[in-house]
Copies of this chain bind each other. A is one copy, B any other.
Amino acid sequence: MTTRIANNRKRPAGEQLRLEHFVPYRLAVLSNVVSTSIASAYEREFGLTMPQWRVLAVLARYPSSSAVEVGERSAMDKVAVSRAVQSLVDAGRVVRTFDAGDRRRLVLNLSPAGRAVYTRVAPLALRYERQLLAALSPAERRTLDRLIERLLDRARALAGNGTWKRR
């Protein structure tokens, strides 16, 4: 029951797979710790969920976006955006108006209250990021950026063409 494929040097099938060294696993754990850490602070201090926060961030930077545009800029599907926007509208933090030219389209913007929340949340987010990245040297931070970028490109390519799946 060992694979001695030429892929790597003489190791039984499971031997080299240790979860704690498996990059996809490590990425998941890291991302999870970071996200829940931030999310709990958002929730506690501003009553914001992660999707809501993402929508705020997008709208702050790209006012008058449509829902799909928000989705593209925040890596959320349109259902998630719809729900987050709905709750933000309910909370008076986002205003939703119909596009004049295309009445399917909604134009989203921060309300003054939404903007106020954003200007308080953003520094908190940046502070967390700064403290996280303090574990790295400036050079390492740049490297990290590059590595994430390249891995993301590659992961998307693999997910897209699906070739890696075939055995």
Could you tell me which A residues sit within 8 Å of B by CB distance? 1-3, 5, 7-8, 13-14, 16-38, 41, 44-45, 54, 57-58, 60-61, 73-75, 115-116, 118-119, 122-136, 140, 143-145, 147-148, 150-156, 158-159, 164-165, 167
Q: Would you call B7 and A118 a contact (CB within 8 A)?
A: no
Q: Would you call B23 and A152 a contact (CB within 8 A)?
A: no
Q: Which of B57, B119, B140, B152 contacts A26 (CB 8 A)?
A: B152
Instruction: List 18 contacting pairs A-B, 8 Å CB cutoff, sorted by A.
Output: A13-B118, A17-B57, A17-B60, A17-B61, A19-B54, A20-B73, A24-B128, A25-B54, A29-B75, A30-B31, A30-B152, A34-B151, A36-B159, A124-B165, A136-B150, A140-B147, A144-B147, A144-B151
